[in-house]
Chains A and B, each alone.
Chain A
Amino acid sequence: MFTQTADQDLLEATTEQYLAATYPPARLRELSRRDSTFDAALWKQGAELGWTSPLVPESAGGGSVSDNGLADLLAVAFQFGRHAAPGPLIGTNVVVAALGRWGSAEQRGGPLAELLGGTATAAWAHAPRSVGRSHAAVRAARSGDDVVLNGTASRVERGAPNGYLLVAAATGEDDARSHYLVPFDAPGVQTSPLGGIDLTRRHLAVVLRDVTVPATSRVGEPGTADDHDELLLDLTAVLQAGEIVGAMERAFATTLRWTHDRYSFGRPLGSYQEIKHRMADLRTQLEASAAVAEKAARRVGEGGHDARTWASAAKAHVGRAGPEVIQDCVQLHGGIGVTFEHDLHLYLRRATVDAQLFGTPAYFTERLVRLLNAAVDGGR
Chain B
Amino acid sequence: MSETVIDVDVFAARARTWLAENMPPADPAKDTFFLHAATHPTDEQVLARAATCRELQRRLFDGGFAGICVPAEYGGQALTPAHQAAFNREIKGYDYPSEIQASTFIPCMAVLLEFGTEEQKLRHIPRMLRGEEIWVQLLSEPGGGSDAAGAVTSATRDGDRWVLNGSKIWTTSGWWGDWALCLARTNWDVEKHRGLTVYSLPMSAPGLQIRQIELVNGSKDFCEEFLTDVVVPDADRIGDVDAGWSVMTRWLHHERTISGGSPYVTGGGNRPNEGPYDLAALIGAARRLGTIDDSATRALIGEAQTSSLVLRALVESVTHKMAAGSLPHHAAAMPRLFGGTANARRAAIATELYGDAGVVWSPDEETSAQVGLGYLIRQASCIGGGTTEMARNVIAERLLGMPRERRADTDAFRDVPRGPQASGAH
Enumerate chain A interface residues (CB-CB to B < 8 A): 3, 256, 259-260, 268, 270-271, 273, 275-277, 279-281, 283-284, 287-292, 294-295, 309-310, 313, 316-317, 362, 365-366, 368-369, 372-373, 375-376, 379
* CB nearest neighbor in B for A259: B402
CB distance from B288 to the nearest CB of A (A): 12
What would be 18 A-B contacts, judged by CB atoms less than 8 Å apart? A256-B400, A273-B405, A276-B396, A280-B395, A284-B338, A287-B314, A287-B338, A288-B313, A291-B316, A291-B317, A294-B317, A313-B310, A317-B307, A365-B299, A365-B302, A369-B301, A369-B302, A369-B305
* CB nearest neighbor in A for B336: A284
Judging by beta carbons under 8 Å apart, are B391 and A309 in contact? no
Judging by beta carbons under 8 Å apart, are A292 and B313 in contact? yes
Residues in chain A near residue B318, CB distance under 8 A: 287, 291
User: How far, in angstroms, from A281 to B341 measured CA to CA in the complex?
Assistant: 10
Residues in chain B near residue A309, CB distance under 8 A: 309
Does more than half of chain A's interface fall in helix, strand or loop, or is it mixed? helix
Residues in chain B near residue A290, CB distance under 8 A: 317
Judging by beta carbons under 8 Å apart, are B299 and A288 in contact? no
Enumerate chain B interface residues (CB-CB to A < 8 A): 279-280, 283-284, 292, 295, 298-299, 301-303, 305-307, 309-314, 316-318, 320-321, 324, 326, 331, 333-334, 337-338, 389, 391-397, 399-400, 402-403, 405
Q: Which of B283, B318, B392, B399 has the most CB of A within 10 A?
A: B392
CB distance from A252 to the nearest CB of B (A): 10
Residues in chain A near residue B302, CB distance under 8 A: 316, 365-366, 368-369
Residues in chain B near residue A268, CB distance under 8 A: 403
User: How far, in angstroms, from A180 to B333 measured CA to CA in the complex?
Assistant: 50
Residues in chain B near residue A362, CB distance under 8 A: 299
Residues in chain A near residue B309, CB distance under 8 A: 292, 295, 309-310, 313, 317
CB distance from A274 to the nearest CB of B (A): 10
Judging by beta carbons under 8 Å apart, are B310 and A288 in contact? yes
State which of B284, B307, B317, B320 has its C-beta within 8 Å of the C-beta of A287: B317
19 additional A-B pairs beyond A281-B392, A284-B337, A369-B301, beta carbons within 8 Å, are A271-B403, A277-B392, A280-B394, A287-B314, A287-B317, A287-B338, A288-B313, A290-B317, A291-B310, A292-B314, A295-B312, A295-B317, A310-B309, A313-B309, A366-B295, A368-B305, A372-B279, A372-B280, A379-B280
CB distance from B321 to the nearest CB of A (A): 6
Judging by beta carbons under 8 Å apart, are A317 and B306 in contact? yes
State which of B301, B310, B326 has its C-beta within 8 Å of the C-beta of A372: B301
In the A-B complex, the 10 residue pairs with the smallest Cβ-Cβ separation, listed nearest first, are A365-B302, A276-B396, A280-B395, A291-B317, A280-B392, A295-B313, A271-B403, A291-B313, A313-B309, A277-B392
User: How far, in angstroms, from A193 to B31 measured CA to CA in the complex?
Assistant: 59
CB distance from A1 to the nearest CB of B (A): 10
Residues in chain B near residue A281, CB distance under 8 A: 337, 392
Residues in chain B near residue A289, CB distance under 8 A: 310
CB distance from A221 to the nearest CB of B (A): 32
User: How far, in angstroms, from A380 to B399 measured CA to CA in the complex?
Assistant: 46
Known: A3-B317, A290-B317, A373-B292. A280 touches B298 (CB 8 A): no
User: How far, in angstroms, from A268 to B404 measured CA to CA in the complex?
Assistant: 12
Does more than half of chain B's interface fall in helix, strand or loop, or is it mixed? helix
Judging by beta carbons under 8 Å apart, are B283 and A295 in contact? no
User: How far, in angstroms, from A25 to B316 measured CA to CA in the complex?
Assistant: 35
Judging by beta carbons under 8 Å apart, are B403 and A284 in contact? no
CB distance from B300 to the nearest CB of A (A): 9
Judging by beta carbons under 8 Å apart, are A316 and B326 in contact? no
Residues in chain B near residue A271, CB distance under 8 A: 402-403
Residues in chain B near residue A375, CB distance under 8 A: 280
CB distance from A329 to the nearest CB of B (A): 14
Known: A290-B317, A294-B317. A316 touches B306 (CB 8 A): yes
Judging by beta carbons under 8 Å apart, are B313 and A283 in contact? no
Judging by beta carbons under 8 Å apart, are A270 and B402 in contact? yes
Residues in chain B near residue A369, CB distance under 8 A: 283, 298, 301-302, 305
Known: A291-B310, A317-B310. A280 touches B305 (CB 8 A): no
User: How far, in angstroms, from A379 to B405 measured CA to CA in the complex?
Assistant: 52
User: How far, in angstroms, from A288 to B292 measured CA to CA in the complex?
Assistant: 29
Judging by beta carbons under 8 Å apart, are A291 and B306 in contact? no
Residues in chain B near residue A373, CB distance under 8 A: 283, 292
Residues in chain A near residue B334, CB distance under 8 A: 283-284, 287-288
* CB nearest neighbor in B for A260: B402
User: How far, in angstroms, from A373 to B326 measured CA to CA in the complex?
Assistant: 38
User: How far, in angstroms, from A309 to B313 measured CA to CA in the complex?
Assistant: 13
User: How far, in angstroms, from A277 to B390 measured CA to CA in the complex?
Assistant: 9
Known: A3-B320, A3-B326, A373-B283. A284 touches B310 (CB 8 A): no
User: How far, in angstroms, from A375 to B334 measured CA to CA in the complex?
Assistant: 31
User: How far, in angstroms, from A295 to B111 measured CA to CA in the complex?
Assistant: 35
Residues in chain A near residue B320, CB distance under 8 A: 3
Residues in chain A near residue B295, CB distance under 8 A: 366
State which of A273, A365, A376 has its C-beta within 8 Å of the C-beta of B306: A365
Judging by beta carbons under 8 Å apart, are B299 and A280 in contact? no
* CB nearest neighbor in A for B317: A291
User: How far, in angstroms, from A283 to B326 measured CA to CA in the complex?
Assistant: 15
User: How far, in angstroms, from A313 to B308 measured CA to CA in the complex?
Assistant: 9
CB distance from B324 to the nearest CB of A (A): 7
* CB nearest neighbor in B for A289: B310
* CB nearest neighbor in A for B281: A376
User: How far, in angstroms, from A372 to B311 measured CA to CA in the complex?
Assistant: 18
Residues in chain B near residue A280, CB distance under 8 A: 333, 337, 391-396, 399-400
Residues in chain A near residue B305, CB distance under 8 A: 313, 368-369, 372
* CB nearest neighbor in B for A3: B320
CB distance from A303 to the nearest CB of B (A): 18
Residues in chain B near residue A294, CB distance under 8 A: 313, 317
State which of A279, A284, A288, A317 has its C-beta within 8 Å of the C-beta of B402: A279
User: How far, in angstroms, from A277 to B333 measured CA to CA in the complex?
Assistant: 12
Residues in chain A near residue B400, CB distance under 8 A: 256, 276, 279-280, 283
Residues in chain A near residue B306, CB distance under 8 A: 313, 316-317, 365, 368
User: How far, in angstroms, from A3 to B280 measured CA to CA in the complex?
Assistant: 31
User: How far, in angstroms, from A379 to B278 measured CA to CA in the complex?
Assistant: 14
User: How far, in angstroms, from A294 to B313 measured CA to CA in the complex?
Assistant: 8
Residues in chain B near residue A277, CB distance under 8 A: 389, 392-393, 396
Q: Which of B283, B310, B394 has the most CB of A within 10 A?
A: B310
User: How far, in angstroms, from A368 to B283 measured CA to CA in the complex?
Assistant: 12
User: How far, in angstroms, from A133 to B279 measured CA to CA in the complex?
Assistant: 29
CB distance from A238 to the nearest CB of B (A): 12
User: How far, in angstroms, from A281 to B318 measured CA to CA in the complex?
Assistant: 15
* CB nearest neighbor in A for B404: A271
Residues in chain B near residue A259, CB distance under 8 A: 402
CB distance from B326 to the nearest CB of A (A): 7
* CB nearest neighbor in A for B282: A372
Q: Which of A283, A287, A317, A376 has the most CB of B within 10 A?
A: A287
User: How far, in angstroms, from A275 to B392 measured CA to CA in the complex?
Assistant: 10
CB distance from A131 to the nearest CB of B (A): 9
User: How far, in angstroms, from A295 to B310 measured CA to CA in the complex?
Assistant: 9
Residues in chain B near residue A376, CB distance under 8 A: 280, 283-284
User: How far, in angstroms, from A213 to B309 measured CA to CA in the complex?
Assistant: 44
CB distance from B28 to the nearest CB of A (A): 14
